[in-house]
Amino acid sequence: MSWAGICVLALALACGSGSGGGQSDAGAVHTGGNGAGPADAGQIGDAGPPDAGVPDAVPPDAGVPDAGPPDAVPPDAGPPGDAGWDAGSPPDAGAPSDGGAESDAGPRLELPPGGRLYHGVFPAGSTQPDADISMQAADDYVNAVGRPLAWIYFSNEWYVTKHFPWATAAAVRARGAVPFVRLHMRSQQKQKVVDPVYTLDNINAGMFDADLRAWADGAKEFGTPLIVQYGTEVNGDWNPWSAPYNGGISVGPAKFRQAFRHIVQVMRAEGATNIVWALHLNGENWPGDEPGNNAGAYYPGDDVVDWIGFSIYQNYGNSDPNCRDLNSLLKAREAELGATATKKPLFLFELGTSVLSTQCNPGDWTRQTLTDLLGGRWPELHGFSWWDETQKGGSSAMGVPDNPGLRVPFHDVLNGPLGPNLQDRPIVR
């Protein structure tokens, strides 16, 4: 092993060669000193089945892409939270993921010790629902729940910039967390349409290999662990990498598996071995009446997947009449994955409910779900991320800091008798 022992990250100091802040995943950082942070310009509606009418415009704060890493953390980075990563893994930390790059090839995020869970967040910003993220929102979330974060979850939208998201990643690292990047290779923000550029066929033909290699160079230069996913909620029907927009269900899953493998292999060949590769599935197959559209159909192979995660929401908001059962959705997707679900670490990459959905008792659901997670009801799960967003239009309210119905159960459970079962700091080898 070339990394003898455990790396420690304090503030923005890296175990590797990465430096300071830099290019935001939504464009260049603002230069006017107005305190606005990097937007991640993500997609509207990827927290669940989409609504129509997604605008085409880039958010106003997207800025102009810049290839190089600037010297400073973006203006909204604020004071970092918990001062760094875990200095060592306890004896029961267990074996690392069985997939992915060799463990001695670079600093990589390890699984938490047995019985503990990582905890992350998508901290929604203010310019566009389900789109930009805000470092201030991340800090507010941490203050509300009373615990630091192992990762912060955000998007790198290629219709804005194809560069590695330096500024956002550096701001995340400054808080002692690992950047969790949704690699959104698409040329527009529209849902339920064929992307005119980034089809799975074009990815598989190597048309974007130069861009992928440049991205990998940025990741390698960043120098500390990253989590990266491609194909967010691929078993849904709203994103352009899903089967309906790549030849249909008869050929789409195989094309996706090939594209996932291609992306990982190109980046690994470039030396970006500090990446944990994640496959992100929706908790519900959408549409659910198509047998070929299932979690197992999209699995690209043990050698290119380190972690598997799901999006599971009790309720999306005012237009959603359903009160979903987390356990039944989790077990259904695990069954579709078969043996893979027992040998790969599983996570809830997106978790949430809207406090406006009073028919679902969201506060009670949140308290019970957190209690079940930390209490070990699902020992196959190694962590979770909350989708922290209250939409301006009032259609959904999942933000923890501004909703006592969520804030109180979060703070109670995460700081109660089960609190020690959270692994606050990322463990890195």
Higher per-residue confidence, 397 vs 11: 397
- Give pLDDT tens digits for 165-193: 999 999 999 999 999 999 999 999 889 99
**Cβ contact 225:108 at 8 Å:** yes
Which stretch of 24-28, 97-101, 145-149, 181-185 has the lowest confidence by average pLDDT? 24-28
CA nearest to 274, candidates 199, 343, 338, 223: 223
Which residue has better confidence, 311 or 85? 311
Angle separating helix axes 404-414 and 362-375, nearest 10 degrees: 20
Read off the pLDDT of residues 383-418 as tens digits, 9 standing for 90 and up.
999 999 988 788 999 999 999 999 999 999 999 999
Identify the pLDDT of residue 87.
39
Is the pLDDT score of 350 beyond 70? yes
Q: Where are the beta strands (DSSP E) in 64-175?
A: 118-123, 151-157
Per-range mean pLDDT, top range of 122-126, 289-293, 423-427: 423-427
Residue 347 CA to residue 281 CA, distance in Å, equals: 10
Query: In this predicted structure, what is the pLDDT of residue 18?
Result: 32
Q: What is the dihedral of CA 176, 182, 185, 188, to 10 degrees?
A: -100
Rounded to whole angstroms, the Cα distance separating 141 from 123 reads 8
2-11, 67-76, 219-228, 403-412, range with the lowest pLDDT:
2-11
Task: Give pLDDT, residue 86.
Answer: 53
All domains of the chain in start order, with CATH: 75-421 (3.20.20.80)
| pLDDT, greater one: 420 or 20 | 420
Q: How confident is the model at residue 229 (pLDDT cuts 50, 70, 90)?
A: very high
Which positions ≥6 away from 145 have C-beta within 8 Å? 400, 407, 410, 411, 414
The predicted-structure confidence for 114-159, as pLDDT tens digits, reads as follows 999 999 999 998 765 555 799 999 999 999 999 999 999 999 999 9
pLDDT at residue 394, rounded to an integer: 84
Cis upstream peptide for 287 (omega within 30°): yes
Name the pLDDT band for 288 (thresholds 50, 70, 90): confident
> Is residue 367 within 8 Å of 409, Cβ to Cβ?
yes
Stretch (H or E) spanning 313: strand 307-313
Phi-psi region of 192 (alpha: psi -120 to 50; beta: other; left: phi over 0): left
CA neighbor of 284 nearest in space, from 232, 335, 330? 330
Q: What is the mean pLDDT of the chain?
A: 81
pLDDT at residue 369 is higher than 80: yes
Bridge partners for 86 per DSSP: 427
Q: Decide which of 348 and 86 is more confident.
A: 348
Residue 125 in contact with residue 25, Cβ under 8 Å? no
3-state secondary structure of 261: helix
Is the pLDDT at 5 greater than 90? The verdict is: no
246 pLDDT band, cuts 50/70/90, is: very high
* pTM for the structure as a whole: 0.81
Query: What pLDDT shows up at residue 22?
Result: 31
pLDDT for the residue 427 = 97
Residue 228's H or E segment, with its range, is: strand 226-230
Residue 68 banded pLDDT, cuts 50, 70, 90: very low
> Which pLDDT does position 131 carry in this prediction?
54
pLDDT of 242 higher than 90: yes
What per-residue confidence (pLDDT) applies to 391? 85
